[in-house]
């Protein structure tokens, strides 16, 4: 079984996947735009991503730019959870993800290990963990 996230964006999917790709050393694969699709979207939206996948060692995310008539509400319906191999890796990742976003729980030691929760600049919620 493979469980992965499918993220929806308001026209900045390419920017978000590029950001995540650099953070997690992953590549954008299977990139499809609205260009040749028979979908009723404005011509200015044709270059937006109808589907893309971010793949790397230990990460696989699918994402798209929702059509302009599909409202995207920033909420808490999804959290991406990342288990890191070291405290330093977790802390660096948390700092990068929360930069420009919002910190909900500071990265610090908890009963179960180190943990922090934030929303990134794109409105995606993240939980970053390191357990000794």
> What DSSP string describes 45-84?
GTTSEEEEEEEETTEEEEEEE--TTS-----SS-EEEEE-
The secondary element (H helix, E strand) that includes residue 58 is: none
Confidence at residue 51, expressed as pLDDT on a 0 to 100 scale: 93
At which of 65, 99, 116 does a domain end?
65
Q: Give the side-chain half-sphere CA count within 13 A for 62.
A: 10
CATH number for the domain that contains residue 95: 3.30.720.110
Is 93 within 8 Å of 128 (Cβ atoms)? yes
pLDDT score of 9 more than 60: yes
pTM: 0.80
Domains identified in the chain, total number: 2
At which of 65, 88, 107 does a domain end?
65
Question: What confidence tens digit (pLDDT) does each residue in 34-44 have?
Answer: 887 778 888 88
Q: How far apart are CA 16 and CA 22, in angstroms?
A: 10
Based on the fold, state whether residues 90 and 123 are members of the same structural domain.
yes
Query: Which sign does the torsion angle of CA 22, 47, 66, 51 carry?
Result: negative
Confidence at residue 4, expressed as pLDDT on a 0 to 100 scale: 83
Question: What confidence tens digit (pLDDT) does each residue in 75-128 have?
Answer: 666 789 899 999 999 999 999 999 999 999 999 999 889 999 999 999 898 999
Residue 72 located in a structural domain: no
Based on the fold, state whether residues 60 and 86 are members of the same structural domain.
no
Instruction: Print the domain residue range for 93.
Output: 79-130
Closest CA to 50 of 74, 67, 38, 68: 67
Residue 24 located in a structural domain: yes
Q: How far apart are CA 106 and CA 26, in angstroms?
A: 26
């Amino acid at each position: 079984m493979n469980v992965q996230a499918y993220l929806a964006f308001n026209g900045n999917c390419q920017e978000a996947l590029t950001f995540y790709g650099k953070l997690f050393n992953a590549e954008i694969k299977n990139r499809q735009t609205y260009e040749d699709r028979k979908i009723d979207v404005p011509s200015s939206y044709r270059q937006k991503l109808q589907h893309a996948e971010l793949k790397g060692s230990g990460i696989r995310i699918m994402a798209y730019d929702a059509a302009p008539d599909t409202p995207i509400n920033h909420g808490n319906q999804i959290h991406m959870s990342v288990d890191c191999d070291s405290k330093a890796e977790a802390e660096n990742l948390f700092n990068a993800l929360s930069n420009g976003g919002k910190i909900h729980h500071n990265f610090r030691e908890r009963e179960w290990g180190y943990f922090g929760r934030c929303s990134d600049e794109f409105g995606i919620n993240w939980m970053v963990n390191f357990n000794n």
